[in-house]
Amino acid sequence: MTLWFVLALMTAGAVFAVLWPLGRRAPLAGGSDVAVYRDQLDEVERDRAAGLIGEREAEAARIEVSRRLIAAADAEAATDAAPSGAASGNATWRRRAVALVALLLLPLGAAALYLRLGAPLLPGQPLAQRQAAGPEHRSIAELVARVEAHLAANPDDGRGWEVVAPVYFRMGRYEDAVTARRHALRLLGETAAREADLGEALVGAANGIVTDEAKAAFERAVRHDANEFKARYYLGLAAEQDGRRKDAVAAWRELLTQAPPGAPWIEMVRESLRRIDPAAVAPGADGGAPGPSAADIAAASELSPEQRGAMVSGMVARLAERLKTDGSDVEGWLRLVRAYVVLGRTAEARAAAADARRALAGEPDKLRRLDDLIKGLGLEG
């Protein structure tokens, strides 16, 4: 109700602003001006007689005042002769038309615009009601603000720090993520996962550089659990950044050989290997299919490009031969197609994709994975 009252007042103000100039009548020229100019002529004569002005100045003043007196007399005569003439009638009609438009169209137009763009039926929602809304109706920033307010009052709530830390990291607030991870470690105790998470936050705060402090956190994580994949991955990244590319390849290759089937981080490790040594992601680069060991990869890095290419081609050929007898291995098909693309053998990649489609024809889920890879590699058509 208050909103409509305010809108009505605003509309009335707008209408008044339009009608006010139209209601003002034009000042009348005429008799009053003639009397003034006549008094000015008498005053000029008095000043000349008293010697206050000379004859020439008096004559010039008389001419100017007389000119104004004649103009005022003509205006008075015109007003008396046609007080309600066509011009006056037209002006009055125009003023009334504008007033009518202002009175009708302004309120109606404002109401129509509000109904079109506004939300007149939306109920009010007090602050307390908004704060009590479910999490699905709040933004991430609001949720973080609530957690921060809670932690400000309860700084020893380790679970709270552990909950907000990954949110800070995803928001790019890496320094805050580091602080939250430190508090979680201090209050909840050291574990491999918490040490690895602290190291990751430190890497984010350093713009992707594995600092000495981050490396120490990853090493502590591995001491707690030798299978902590995040720490092992970042230790490989530290080796690459230190110029020890062979150590990085060996570390990441070992991760792939020990990866559980379907691990979500496998592709990330593959991409890192591809960046520094494409031969390291040849077929057999993950668990579940035969391939070179970490020692084999380290030895391959010592070979010439021609020898390394021959080694990779041999592994590809062995994988292709195995898939002829075990066509249900979707992971093998994915590795084979990707390997052909890495080697620049596009025609063979397309042929392998066609063979894989035939072998996996009765398994829709595996076919979907194969089709996604084919699209991603641009092998369609």
Q: Rg of the chain over CA atoms, in angstroms?
A: 45
Distance in angstroms (rounded) separating the CA atoms of residues 52 and 39: 17
pTM of the predicted model as reported, rounded to 2 decimal places: 0.44
Interval 124-136: pLDDT, tens: 555 555 555 455 4
| Distance between CA atoms of residues 170 and 151, nearest Å | 19
How many structural domains comprise the chain? 2
Report yes or no on 44 lying in a domain: no
Distance CA 91, CA 31 (A): 23
Q: Is residue 215 part of a domain?
A: yes
Does the residue 131 lie in any domain? no
Domain shared by 150 and 233, yes or no? yes
Q: Does 363 lie in the same domain as 297?
A: yes
Domain around 177: 144-243
14 found inside a domain:
no
Per residue in 349-379, pLDDT tens?
A: 888 888 888 888 888 888 888 887 887 777 7
Q: Is residue 62 part of a domain?
A: no
* C-alpha to C-alpha distance for 336 and 316, rounded to whole angstroms: 7
> Both tokens of residue 229?
């994949």
Tokens of 279: 């031969």
Residues in the chain: 381
Same domain for 293 and 363, yes or no, is yes
pLDDT at 109: 74
Q: Is residue 360 part of a domain?
A: yes
Report the C-alpha gap between 264 and 267 in whole angstroms.
7
Which residues in the chain come in under a pLDDT of 70?
1-5, 7, 11, 15-16, 18-34, 37, 65, 72, 74-92, 95-96, 98-104, 106, 111, 114-138, 278-312, 381
Query: Among residues of the chain, what percentage have pLDDT more than 70?
Result: 66
How far is C-alpha 175 from the geometric centre of its chain's CA atoms?
21
Q: What is the pLDDT of residues 16-66, one digit of tens each?
A: 676 666 555 554 444 566 677 677 778 878 877 877 777 877 777 778 767
DSSP 269: H
Q: Which residue has the tokens 């979500």?
A: 264
One-letter identity of residue 55: E
pLDDT at 320: 83
